[in-house]
Amino acid sequence: MDAETAHNLGLWAVASGFVGGGIVHNPRLACTAFGSQLSNPLGLAAGFDKNGVAAAYWQDLGFGFAEIGTVTPEAQPGNPKPRMFRFPEDGAIINRLGFNNSGAREVVKNLLAAATRFPIGINLGKGIDTPLEDAADDYKRGVKKLQGIANYYVINVSSPNTPGLRDLQQVHRLEEIIAAVREMSNERLFVKISPDQSADEIVKITEMAIRLSLSGIIATNTTIRRVFPTEEAGGLSGKPLRERAEEVCRLVRQVGDGLEIVGVGGIFTGEDLYRRLQAGATVCQIYTSFVYRGPSAAALILNELLQCMDRDGISSVVQIPR
């Protein structure tokens, strides 16, 4: 079975309520982010549930929150298949999906039908056929259609799978997008950044986020760098990204101490989660480890996190030194 078919079957099983992963009920894990109380600091990263079809069920798999998307204003099929590849020996996935999704209106229907109070974020992207000079309007249209149904919204300009998208990470282009979105809505806004940017570029985006009073930064998206031989193009996620994602998280925290930081990339164990929180993350997300560790991944990682806290004499996740 190819990786995308396996992914879709797994998502269908979750959305049908056939899969449970266990919930870790422990007040030591409670924290605050996105203006909400979370049961724990571990969320599902964007890309797994692109259309919010399983929004009502992620809590049952032990997550503290979930991010839906990436969502574009209109439906689009994404890039040609095959476009997702698993590398289990490396704990990695490469995808070049290209923002395949059912469009903003369908996502609204799905989230309203879910009627969940579980904290949800929505990851916003531009349409693949939208010229870069019109990108700000796409993000504006997206948030207009989706506003009021999520706890936070993410401007995704860092996916490597939409041609030219990463050019929008230039600060002056990002400022145009944020200004356009702010004309439409005052929702909590985050920017998702690439691990492939230089330290100087990351610092400039972080300073911009502070200047424009964004809620925070998602650090990081997938990488185009390769640490094992493959000719497959696309964004690499999983264990090979862990060290760089942690490094970026630490840099963002040094510059943007007042921002909320969502750490994502290569988190497979409770020790990984612990280290990312120590690096400055407010909360974290997983994707690839959910694929490889299965539906109990969140519960396993959170229990391992509690063991790390016990080892170091930390009574609450909010007391982990950043």
Domain that holds residue 223: 3-314
d(CA 243, CA 267): 10
- Residue 49 inside a domain? The answer is yes
- Residue 320 inside a domain? The answer is no
Instruction: Quote the pLDDT of residue 22.
Output: 86
| pLDDT averaged per 10 residues, the chain (length 322) | 96 92 93 98 99 97 98 98 98 98 99 95 97 96 97 96 91 96 95 97 98 98 94 97 98 96 99 99 99 98 99 98 90
d(CA 214, CA 61): 30
- The residues annotated as belonging to the active site are 159
- Residue 7 inside a domain? The answer is yes
How many domains are contained in the chain? 1
Residue with token string 């959305």 = 15
Instruction: Quote the pLDDT of residue 144.
Output: 97
For the chain, the residue count is: 322
Give kind and range of the element (H or E) at residue 66: strand 65-71
Instruction: Quote the pLDDT of residue 141.
Output: 97
- Residue 147 inside a domain? The answer is yes
3-state secondary structure 183-251: HHCCCCEEEEECCCCCHHHHHHHHHHHHHCCCCEEEECCCECCCCCCCCCCCEEEEHHHHHHHHHHHHH
Of 311, 299, 321, 286, residue with least CA distance to 93? 286
- Residue 181 inside a domain? The answer is yes
Please provide the distance, in angstroms rounded to a whole number, between the alpha carbons at the two ends of the chain. Answer: 42
- Residue 322 inside a domain? The answer is no
Q: Residue 90 maps to which CATH number?
A: 3.20.20.70
d(CA 264, CA 65): 13
